[in-house]
């Protein structure tokens, strides 16, 4: 009897494949970009893909960790590279300069880099190209909203503590995706005026969106490396991190 139970347990364990990961390179124009893919290869049918856009520090172990979490939910996680393969800021000053070139200047390049990630993962054999969503953190949150405003056929777009402003609010009429915006209630980097402007933009365009506010959370509330000094306006909040992840899970599950 004991042997039978042990054999059944081992058979059950072996039926669950490990998460497969791979680093890949792809291009936007002549610029080489580096991505990271994670998926569960025990799921044989094409899956919804989730493009993950990095914060201002660029692709990192953090975004790879998020890709693995996404894969554990049954999706294909793909970390995009907006900056370029050889551009990885070493500190906040460098990150502010690089991110600013995409965020504060002409956002055509930002959108082109994001679209390159979308186009690349849509061709992957594990992916159902009709079911692609995007999530992003800080700078990445801004980016996924720009992907939606550009009219990319995303199923959904999730912004974690991202900037909400855009250069042309009228482009909200192009949005095809459902949106989920996860925002810190006391985020000093995304002031109330910006929030109100975003809500007005979405309401006028009749976009299908949800806007969730987490009490006591400032900018960067999902990132443990941000520390806990809220006076800096950038700090980790374990409760908001956990709640926002659950909110994202529910959102993705309901747009399949």
Written as one string, the DSSP assignment of the chain is -HHHHHHHHHHHHHTSPPEEEEEEEEEETTEEEEEEEEEETT--S-EEEEEEE--TT-S-HHHHHHHHHHHHTTSEEEE--SS-TT---SSHHHHHHHHHHHHTS-THHHHHHHHHHHHHHHTSTTEEEEEEEEEEETHHHHHHHHHHHTT---SEEEEES-----S-GGGGGG--SEEEEEEETT-TTS-HHHHHHHHHHHHHHT--EEEEEETT--BTTT-GGG-S-GGGTB---HHHHHHHHHHHHHHHHTT-
> Residue 7 domain-assigned?
no
Residue 93 Cα to chain centre, angstroms: 23
Task: Please report, to the nearest 10 degrees, the dihedral formed by the alpha carbons of residues 114, 115, 119, 120 taken in order.
Answer: -30
Q: What is the CATH number of the domain that holds 226?
A: 3.40.50.1820
Closest CA to 139 of 58, 77, 56, 67: 56
> Residue 152 domain-assigned?
yes
Q: What is the pLDDT of residues 144-194, one digit of tens each?
A: 999 999 999 999 999 999 999 999 999 999 999 999 999 999 999 999 999
Confidence of residue 216 (pLDDT cuts 50, 70, 90): very high
Mean pLDDT of 7-33: 74
Longest dimension (CA), the chain: 69
Residue 209 Cα to chain centre, angstroms: 16
CB 181 within 8 A of CB 160: no
**The pLDDT of residue 21 is above 90:** yes
Number of domains present in the structure of the chain: 1
Structure tokens at 147: 């992907």
> Residue 13 domain-assigned?
no
**The pLDDT of residue 62 is above 60:** yes
What is the domain range of residue 205? Answer: 18-253
Mean pLDDT of 21-46: 96
> Residue 2 domain-assigned?
no
Mean pLDDT of 3-12: 40
> Residue 214 domain-assigned?
yes
What share of the chain has pLDDT > 90, as a percent?
Answer: 90
> Residue 246 domain-assigned?
yes
> Residue 11 domain-assigned?
no
Structure tokens at 251: 């959102």
pLDDT number for residue 7: 42
Neighbours of 191 (CB within 10 A): 11
Confidence of residue 17 (pLDDT cuts 50, 70, 90): low
Structure tokens at 32: 């080489």
Distances in Å between the Cα of 80 and the Cα atoms of 47, 146, 200 are: 18, 14, 29
pLDDT number for residue 196: 98
pLDDT number for residue 256: 66
Mean pLDDT of 230-234: 94
pLDDT number for residue 5: 41
> Residue 6 domain-assigned?
no
């Amino acid at each position: 009897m004991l042997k039978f139970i042990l054999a059944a347990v081992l058979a059950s364990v072996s039926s669950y494949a490990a998460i497969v990961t791979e680093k890949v390179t792809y291009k936007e124009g002549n610029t080489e970009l580096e991505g990271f893919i994670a998926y569960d290869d025990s799921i044989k049918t094409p899956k919804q893909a989730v493009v993950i856009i990095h914060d201002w520090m660029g692709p990192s172990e953090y975004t790879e960790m998020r890709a693995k979490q996404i894969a554990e939910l049954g999706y294909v996680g793909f970390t995009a590279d907006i900056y370029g393969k050889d551009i990885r800021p070493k500190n906040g000053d460098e990150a502010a300069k690089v991110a600013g070139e995409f965020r504060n200047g002409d956002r055509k390049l930002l959108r082109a880099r994001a679209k390159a990630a979308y186009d690349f993962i849509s061709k992957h054999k594990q992916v159902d190209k009709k079911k692609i969503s995007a999530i992003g953190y800080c700078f990445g949150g801004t980016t996924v909203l720009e992907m939606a405003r550009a009219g990319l056929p995303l199923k959904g777009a999730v912004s974690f503590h991202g900037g909400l402003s855009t250069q042309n609010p009228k482009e909200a009429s192009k949005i095809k995706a459902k949106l989920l915006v996860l925002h810190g209630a006391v985020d000093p980097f995304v002031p109330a005026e910006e929030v109100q402007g975003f809500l007005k933009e979405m309401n006028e365009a009749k976009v299908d969106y949800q806007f969730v506010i987490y009490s006591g959370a400032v900018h960067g509330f999902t990132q443990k490396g941000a520390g806990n000094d809220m006076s800096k306006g950038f700090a980790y909040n374990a409760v908001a991190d956990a709640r926002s992840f659950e909110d994202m899970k529910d959102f993705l599950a309901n747009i399949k």
